Amino acid sequence: MSITERLNRARAAAVSNSFGLNSESLESREDCLRNDLARRLKNVCANLSGVDFEALVVKMAREQMRAEGVTLSRLRRC
């Protein structure tokens, strides 16, 4: 296991322990982000098809989760 992987696991464990996060709460966090992004981007991205709009919202929500340093896969590995 590389140093980076160890640091990622330690960080995910620390975040999950300090905030009481589990896979269910992370999924609800992602749902909350998606709903908020969809609401705010609805008028701005009116030219996108429904499928493209949903793909954009999902990608942006996952990027936000990644930027926060918490992902479901990291949490499940710990």
**Whole domain around residue 42: which residue ranges?**
3-77
Into how many domains does the chain fold?
1
pLDDT, tens digit (0-9, with 9 covering 90-100), for 52-64: 999 999 999 988 8
pLDDT, tens digit (0-9, with 9 covering 90-100), for 17-71: 545 555 566 667 788 889 999 999 999 999 999 999 999 999 999 888 888 775 5
71 and 65 Cβ atoms separated by less than 8 Å: yes
The CA distance from 78 to 73, in Å, is: 9
pTM: 0.57
Tally of CA atoms within 13 A in the half-sphere of 27 that contains its CB: 4
23 and 75 Cβ atoms separated by less than 8 Å: yes
